[in-house]
């Protein structure tokens, strides 16, 4: 997995590519949490998954954990550019009801 982080004004964009699984999900969560904690001005996050080829249950848990952290600190989180396979995973698991997927 690769993560490219970009500051876009009051929000950070995380462009993720590769697999989000048991081995890589902790790295994504750590990166996002560190960014949130060290940049109090942030009002939102964008997780761009255009180049994600696989999302495991560990990846889903990580995205949900990040969403909960954003909710508790009144920040927005959007998952953008999900391909049809990822959208189907979000729908089948019911995560589409908890995550803002565009």
Q: Is the pTM of this model over 0.85?
A: yes
Half-sphere exposure of 55 (CA within 13 A, CB side): 26
Beta sheet of 11-20, edge-to-edge order: 2-8, 11-20, 44-55, 76-80
pLDDT at residue 22 tops 90: yes
Full set of structural domains in the chain with CATH: 2-97 (3.30.750.24)
Q: What's the confidence (pLDDT) of residue 33?
A: 94
Question: Mind listing the pLDDT tens digit for each residue in 35-89?
Answer: 999 988 999 999 999 999 999 999 999 999 999 999 999 999 999 999 999 999 9
Q: What's the confidence (pLDDT) of residue 40?
A: 87
């Amino acid at each position: 997995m690769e993560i490219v982080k970009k500051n876009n004004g009051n929000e950070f964009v995380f462009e993720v590519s590769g697999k989000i699984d048991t081995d890589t999900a902790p790295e994504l969560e750590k990166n996002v949490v560190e960014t949130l904690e060290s940049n109090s001005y942030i009002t939102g996050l964008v997780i761009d998954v255009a180049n994600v080829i696989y999302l495991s249950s560990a990846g889903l848990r990580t995205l949900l954990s990040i969403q909960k952290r954003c909710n508790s600190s009144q920040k927005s989180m959007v998952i953008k550019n999900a391909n049809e396979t990822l959208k189907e995973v979000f729908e089948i698991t019911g995560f589409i009801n908890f995550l803002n997927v565009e």
